[in-house]
Structure 1
Amino acid sequence: MTSILQIGFGPLGVQIAEYIAQKETVKTVAVVDINPDFTGKKLSEVSPELSNEVKIYSSVKKAINELTSKPDVAIITTVSSLEKLIPQIEEVAKLGISVISTCEELSYPWELQPELSTKLDNICREHNIACLGTGINPGFLMDYLPSVMSSVCKDIETITVERIQDATPRRVPFQQKIGAGLTLQAFKEKEATGTLRHVGLKESVYLLANSIGLKLDEVTESLAPVIAENEVASKHIQVKKGDARGVEQIAHGYVNGMCKITLHFKAAIGEPRSYDKISSKGIPNFSSEIEGGINGDIATCAITINCINSILTASSGLRTMADIAVPGYIN
């Protein structure tokens, strides 16, 4: 039985815990969250699907002091920022615990944040643990999956990946992150602060490029609101006509002035059709589409758990999805 320390118990952390509770080979043994309302509670007090024997602690130190043995893996679902995540990773790295995190900037930080990447890599190597950033996007649909599909190609001229999704059934923090329900003025203000966007699109471009052997000269990214033509709503957010119902981002990766990689991300409440599509121009040409798309909340929780065995066998250091053994479903 693989034991898991969960750090972060927001909606995503709770959902991961609920999925782990259904597994036979992994078990959450402690949860850490800074929310004072959670401190000392049993997991069952947060969700009836969870254990009444496992507690929530205010710090890693307090959790470790009460556990009878060291957890095998820490799953961290706290922040999107690599800079803010590193101290959290270092704390468990010093205990010799490997890390899987849903932090978007962790998925492939080498190009955009080289100094922080080297710092984190050194921390992991010093304490002989592996650290992985994963998720459905970034971490799979727009980078790892097209990388795998490129293995059947004799030659690649361009790769285009589209992730178009109706955000109506997604969790509230995701809907807020894409600006659903904001006026256009409020959207622009939040965009200017960097708090409104899908985090990780450029990281996906670099991960995909690295996997297929491209040295990019330039990566660009555009962002725009998806404007509601009529009133739309999710369970928690009402969007008025003329306001933003979501976000559209497009990133391009260039080699010698030629666009080789295009990633098109669009997520909005009331989007009429959801799909994930990978198109490769080369030998052979191909297009592969997942009608309906992959539910991001479900899949992010699933892939985080399903990477556990891979991270336990990975060599020490900062790892990406392209570095580890191919993950698969675990019981």
Structure 2
Amino acid sequence: MINIVQMGLGPIGQQLTRYLNEREGISIVGGVDLDPQKIGNDIGIHAGLDRFGTEIVANVESVQNIKEADVAVITTLSDLKKIEQQIMATADCGLDIISTCEELSHPWKTQPSTATRIDDYCCGKGVSCLGTGVNPGFLMDYLPSVLTSVCRNVEQIRVERIQNAEPRRLPFRDKIGVGLSKQKFNENRDGIRHVGLEESVCMIADAMKWNLNEVTETLEPVIATKDLKNGRIDVNKGEVVGVEQISRGYMNNNEVITLVFKAAIGVTDSHDTITISGTPSFTSTIDGGINGDIATSAITVNTIRSVLEASPGLKTMLDIRGPAYFSHT
């Protein structure tokens, strides 16, 4: 039996509770959330399931059965510096860690000092720590890296993730600025952007052993060309319906990695497309794209065995045994 502590019980955390509960050989022995409205609630009932007999507490140290736990899954924050103390407190409890923090997915180039602190601390405590998710963590970095394994040589990698944001949960739509005016969008750019594109560029470069001399990123709003109103959305013509971000990695001043992320209400051609230019050159497309909420929860569950097997320290998806779906442990 693998015993899990969940930290962060918002929409993704609740979905993860349901996914973990489905797997034979996995037991949730603790739930952690800072929200006073959640503290004291049964984690099973909180996720729309039957009672687990496990109450949500305010911090990992307060988990009643913490000594029985093996792994903590953390679905709290996107900011690496803000989540650092949560990681260290969890490591103090001797738990291996899987987190959906986007900036944790490959921080060695973007935030090297923080990455080194986390790595050293986890090594000292004898635990492994992995940042993962659908994006970053899989579709725009790990998967294209794996696809290059059939190539004699690679000259350029381009990934496009184009998705209709209407079916996504409200926090995601808020994150990409749906319903804002152009002015409000520009005033709040730092809080609106999709987090993780630069980390994905760096993960691909790490896999390829490409020494990039520059990484750039652009962010532009997608604007509604007509009123869009139904039970889920209420956007006027001229307001923001999403974002388009492009991150580029350059080696010897040549663009070798291009990542295009577009998420907006009304997109009609959702897809995830990877194009490898080399020998051979080829394109792989997932028509309709992968649902981010489902995939993030699923990959968090499916990396548990790989993280338990990993050596201590901060890991990326490139460092662990390739994960796969499993029905029982």
Question: TM-score interval w.r.t. the shorter chain?
Answer: over 0.9
1:270 corresponds, among 266, 271, 288, to 266
In structure 1, distance between residues paired with 2:227 and 2:279: 45
TM-aligned CA deviation for residue 68 of structure 1: 6.9
1:34, 1:158 → 2: CA distance? Answer: 44
Describe the superposition over 1:73-112 as per-residue Cα deviations: whole angstroms up to 9, x where unpaired. 0000000000011100100101110100000000000001
Q: Answer whether contact 2:30 2:66 (CA < 8 A) is retained.
A: no
Cα displacement (A) at 1:44? 3.7
Q: Secondary structure at the match of 2:147?
A: helix
Give the structure 2 partner of residue 241 of structure 1: 237
- 1:307-322 map, 5 Å: 307-322=303-318
Q: CA distance change for structure 1 residues 25 and 222 in 2, over 3 Å: closer, same or farther?
A: same
Cα distance between partner residues in 1 of 2:50 and 2:14: 9
- CA–CA distance in 1 between the matches of 2:135 and 2:256? 20
Q: Cα distance 1:327–1:235, how it changes in 2: closer, same or farther (>3 A)?
A: farther
Summarize the Cα distance change of 1:50–1:103 in structure 2 as closer, same or farther, 3 Å threshold. Answer: farther
Match of 2:205 among 203, 209, 212: 209
Is 1:306–1:329's contact at 8 Å kept on the other side of the alignment?
yes
Alpha-carbon distance between aligned partners in 1 of 2:4 and 2:306, rounded to the nearest angstrom = 14
What is the match of residue 302 of structure 1? Answer: 298
Q: How many residues in Structure 1 have an aligned counterpart in Structure 2?
A: 327
CA deviations over 1:281-309 (Å, ceiling 9, x no partner): 11001000000000000000000010000
Equivalent residue number for residue 139 of structure 1: 137
Deviation, structure 1 residue 237: 3.1
Q: CA deviation at 1:214?
A: 0.6
Q: Which runs of 5+ in 1 are unaligned?
A: none
**Alpha-carbon offset, residue 61 of structure 1:** 1.7
Which position in structure 1 is the counterpart of 2:35? 35
State the partner residue of 1:177. 175
**What TM-score, normalized by structure 2, do the two folds share?**
0.97
Does the 8 Å contact 1:156/1:280 carry over to 2? yes
Contact 1:17 1:50 in 2 (8 A): no
Q: Which of 296, 315, 320 matches 1:324?
A: 320
Percent identity among equivalent residues? Answer: 49
**TM-score, normalisation: structure 1:** 0.97
Across the aligned residues of Structure 1 and Structure 2, the Cα RMSD in angstroms comes to 1.1
Residues 161/233 of structure 1: CA separation in 2 closer, same or farther (3 Å cut): farther
- How far residue 53 of structure 1 moved from its aligned partner, in angstroms, is 1.4
Aligned mate of 1:291, from 284, 287, 290: 287
CA displacement, residues 146-174 of structure 1 (integer Å, 9 cap, x when unaligned):
00000001011111000000011111111
- Using the TM superposition, give the Cα deviation of residue 49 of structure 1 relative to its aligned residue in structure 2, in angstroms: 2.0
For 2:27 and 2:257, locate their aligned partners in 1 and report how far apart those are by CA, in whole Å: 39
Counterparts of 1:294 and 1:168 in 2: how far apart (Å)? 14
Uncovered stretches (5+) of structure 2, i.e. residues with no partner: none
Match of 2:22 in 1: 22
Q: Which residue of the other structure, out of 103, 106, 126, is the alignment partner of 1:105?
A: 103
In structure 2, the residue matched to 1:9 is: 9
Q: Deviations over 1:209-254 (max 9, x none)?
A: 1101111000000000001111224754311110110000001100
Distance in 1 (CA, whole Å) between partners of 2:270 and 2:128 is 35
The amino acid of 1:284's aligned partner reads P
